[in-house]
Chains A and B, each alone.
Chain A
Amino acid sequence: MSEITPDLVRHLASLARILVTDQEVEQLAGELGIIVDSVATVTKAVSGDVAATSHPIPMANVYREDVILPSLSQLQALSSAPDSAEGRFKVNAILDED
């Protein structure tokens, strides 16, 4: 049986910064439960001594030299911003952390 509870969905949605309605939470919990039950078979496929592959083609040590390349202009940088002011991106007030 799936471990995807509505509370877990709510928590995951908040980590992922997606607003969800109660109805969506219920629906997602059901759908994700089925998917998770299915993909959980991976846990049966592997034992501890198998190495993890994060890059399909093994490569290492790819660097760029420390030189300056052209940047965007301020105008270009802000060109697709929903809102800007004083050469900066403008956003609503941030949740008070103090």
Chain B
Amino acid sequence: MAKEQLMSYEDAIERFEVVIGLEVHVELNTVSKMFCGCANNFGSEPNTNVCPTCLGLPGSLPAVNRKAVESSIAIGLALDCQIASNGRFARKNYFYPDLAKNFQTSQFDEPIAFEGEISIELETGEVFMVPIERAHMEEDAGKLTHVGGATGRIQGAEYSLVDYNRAGVPLVEIVTKPIYGALDKAPELAATYVRAIRDIVKSMNVSDAKMERGNVRCDANVSLREKGAEKLGTRTETKNVNSLKSIENTVRYEIQRQAFILAAGGKIIQETRHWHEDRGHTSAGRPKSDADDYRYFPEPDLVPVQPSKEWIEEIRLTLTEKPSIRRKRLQEAWGFADLEFRDVLNSDLLDEIEATVSAGASPQSARKWWTGELARLANLQEVAVQDLPITPEQVASIQKLIDSGDLTDRIARDVVAGVLAGEGEPAEVIESRGLKIVTDEGALIAAIDKALASQPDVMEKIRDGKLQAAGAVIGAVMQEMRGQADAARVRELILERAK
């Protein structure tokens, strides 16, 4: 498809006001599915986590998972929403082969949570309050595989295969109200908002929150209106934008695309669009039409959800600290500079550093290990630093040995390498690799004497005040000690000897 014409971003922002709206789907990490007892499990053999209910077999009926309701209420509370005293499920009717019953059990006009807000801090420190319209419960659809055709995509496929393992996995859809006033920051705000939602559901442990697995998915609505205009412009909805970077790019692209059309006197078509990360643009999908008449009606096979005040308060007590508040608290407690802290956030290492600190390491040393040596090693092995086979406790214990003078930084790196190589706990690695600093002064002095014997002029030079001459002896001693000596102490001993 030919790439559409775009207005420059600066011109678009100059001329138009951007209004965005975001719908984020969060897959809950319950043990079983939303309406049946099949495992909510990623990566199983196709069609093995299925039963009459999630396959939509005739006669089957749904039964609501209590934990899924609890998690949905918790998400609502975390977003400062009101919790419905009478929430109801509704059927959203449309035909699609991944939808076993050809209706999705969702919520319509009585969602479990509504009217919330979340504060989002941009990189500049600017804070936006994003208003939340609602958070509602629904079920995921199955997974389609398109076979034949060039790219495994839906276009040109010969046939499709359906796996219903994901059908009926619980979802919470969080819908914002229209977000005004973000101006040129709209793309960044969109991505930061989705990241904030992801962080919240992850810290609450109600979702695995892995965007690459589709645990958190975003539909981005974008519309433009002439500055000063009252009426909202026609919006487009870009579906399933599944990385933070793509969200930012999608919003930016839509602003530029719509601006070009509007400036040329054209009309925006209300339609769903698709983002192509590889090609860096969105493309038109199906225009909104009468076919989007979903004929919602109350799900007659389920009864209302009327959470008691007591239940809601019980759930509220289990809420973890909000990620934004936690971040502020930790930065303050650790005394990290903004730049240092941003590094930590960007590499998603807050949990690891916090655990390392609470295992006894200083915040700065913990930060250096994780964002420095460990990040470097992870990078070499092409894995996420969080996935390295070393625990925060192990890192902290190694750091303690440095602090006590039992290891040098360099030896400590060997210990880390040993742990990563699966040689056991740090103490075991030190033992088996023989990595302790040699603190036996007799052995050091013997080594110094041996080195001095082969370089007899060194002592003279030192006595003449040329202290740098000691360097050659230190090098020889360290070599003799296979690096396991404290170079500073060796230097001290040489200088003493020269007196």
The interface residues of chain A lying within 8 Å CB-to-CB of B63 are: 62-64
Q: Mark A59-76, 1 if CB is under 8 A from B, else 0.
A: 111111111111111100
The answer, among A11, A91, A96, A98, for a CB contact under 8 Å with B97, is A91
A71 x B48 contact (CB < 8 A): yes
B145 x A88 contact (CB < 8 A): yes
B37 x A68 contact (CB < 8 A): yes
Given A66-B66, A68-B32: A91 and B160 interface contact (C-beta under 8 Å): yes
Q: Which of B291-348 contact A (CB under 8 A)?
A: 291, 293, 295, 297-298, 300, 302-307
Given A85-B161, A86-B46: A71 and B154 interface contact (C-beta under 8 Å): no
Asked if A55 is an interface residue, CB under 8 A from chain B, the answer is yes
B65 x A14 contact (CB < 8 A): no
Residue of A nearest to B28 (CB): A66
The answer, among A64, A72, A92, for a CB contact under 8 Å with B50, is A72
Asked if B42 is an interface residue, CB under 8 A from chain A, the answer is no
| CA–CA, A60 and B110, complex, Å | 14
| CA–CA, A73 and B44, complex, Å | 12
Q: Which of B449-483 contact A (CB under 8 A)?
A: none
B146 x A64 contact (CB < 8 A): no
B47 x A97 contact (CB < 8 A): no
Asked if A54 is an interface residue, CB under 8 A from chain B, the answer is yes
Task: Please choose the segment from B17-25, B282-290, B370-378 that sits at the chain A interface, where 4 or more of its residues have CB less than 8 A away.
Answer: B282-290
A66 x B32 contact (CB < 8 A): yes
Q: Mark A82-98, 1 if CB is under 8 A from B, else 0.
A: 00011111111110111
Asked if B384 is an interface residue, CB under 8 A from chain A, the answer is no
Residue of B nearest to A57 (CB): B303
A98 x B291 contact (CB < 8 A): no
The answer, among B46, B52, B297, for a CB contact under 8 Å with A87, is B46
B46 x A88 contact (CB < 8 A): yes
The interface residues of chain A lying within 8 Å CB-to-CB of B101 are: none
Asked if B163 is an interface residue, CB under 8 A from chain A, the answer is yes
The interface residues of chain B lying within 8 Å CB-to-CB of A54 are: 297-298, 300
Q: Mark B396-411, 1 if CB is under 8 A from A, else 0.
A: 0000000000000000
B285 x A98 contact (CB < 8 A): yes
Residue of A nearest to B97 (CB): A91
CB proximity of A16 to chain B, nearest CB, Å: 9
B161 x A77 contact (CB < 8 A): no
B145 x A98 contact (CB < 8 A): no
Q: Mark A25-49, 1 if CB is under 8 A from B, else 0.
A: 0000000000000000000000000
B157 x A72 contact (CB < 8 A): no
Q: Mark B32-69, 1 if CB is under 8 A from A, else 0.
A: 10001111000001111111100100000001111111
**Number of interchain pairs (Cβ within 8 Å):** 142
Asked if B31 is an interface residue, CB under 8 A from chain A, the answer is yes
A61 x B303 contact (CB < 8 A): yes
CB proximity of B41 to chain A, nearest CB, Å: 9
A74 x B161 contact (CB < 8 A): no
Asked if A78 is an interface residue, CB under 8 A from chain B, the answer is yes
Q: Mark B141-160, 1 if CB is under 8 A from A, else 0.
A: 00011101000011111111
Given A11-B290, A94-B144: A74 and B48 interface contact (C-beta under 8 Å): yes
CB proximity of A69 to chain B, nearest CB, Å: 3
Asked if B9 is an interface residue, CB under 8 A from chain A, the answer is no
Asked if A15 is an interface residue, CB under 8 A from chain B, the answer is yes
Main secondary structure of the interface of A (DSSP, over half): loop
A92 x B159 contact (CB < 8 A): yes
- Could you tell me how many residues of chain B have their Cβ less than 8 Å away from some Cβ of chain A? 61
CB proximity of A57 to chain B, nearest CB, Å: 9
CB proximity of A94 to chain B, nearest CB, Å: 6
B69 x A94 contact (CB < 8 A): no
The interface residues of chain B lying within 8 Å CB-to-CB of A77 are: 47-48, 50, 55, 164
CB proximity of A13 to chain B, nearest CB, Å: 12
The interface residues of chain A lying within 8 Å CB-to-CB of B47 are: 74, 77-78, 87-89
Asked if B493 is an interface residue, CB under 8 A from chain A, the answer is no
Residue of A nearest to B276 (CB): A98
The interface residues of chain B lying within 8 Å CB-to-CB of A17 are: 95, 102
| CA–CA, A65 and B52, complex, Å | 18
The answer, among A59, A69, A85, A97, for a CB contact under 8 Å with B32, is A69
Residue of A nearest to B149 (CB): A93
Asked if B368 is an interface residue, CB under 8 A from chain A, the answer is no
B295 x A74 contact (CB < 8 A): no
The answer, among B66, B97, B306, for a CB contact under 8 Å with A65, is B66
| CA–CA, A87 and B50, complex, Å | 12
The interface residues of chain A lying within 8 Å CB-to-CB of B102 are: 17
The answer, among B39, B144, B154, B297, for a CB contact under 8 Å with A96, is B154
B163 x A87 contact (CB < 8 A): yes
| CA–CA, A74 and B48, complex, Å | 5
The interface residues of chain A lying within 8 Å CB-to-CB of B164 are: 77, 89
Given A88-B145, A94-B160, A96-B155: A15 and B295 interface contact (C-beta under 8 Å): yes
Q: What residues make up the interface of B, taking CB atoms closer than 8 Å to A?
A: 30-32, 36-39, 45-52, 55, 63-69, 86, 95, 97, 102, 144-146, 148, 153-164, 274, 283-286, 290-291, 293, 295, 297-298, 300, 302-307
Give 16 pairs: A residue, B residue, CB < 8 Å, sorted on A. Answer: A17-B102, A54-B298, A59-B303, A61-B303, A66-B68, A69-B51, A70-B51, A71-B37, A71-B50, A72-B55, A74-B45, A88-B145, A90-B159, A93-B148, A94-B144, A96-B154
Pairs A-B, 9 closest by C-beta atoms: A69-B37, A66-B67, A88-B161, A63-B66, A87-B46, A89-B162, A54-B298, A60-B306, A64-B63
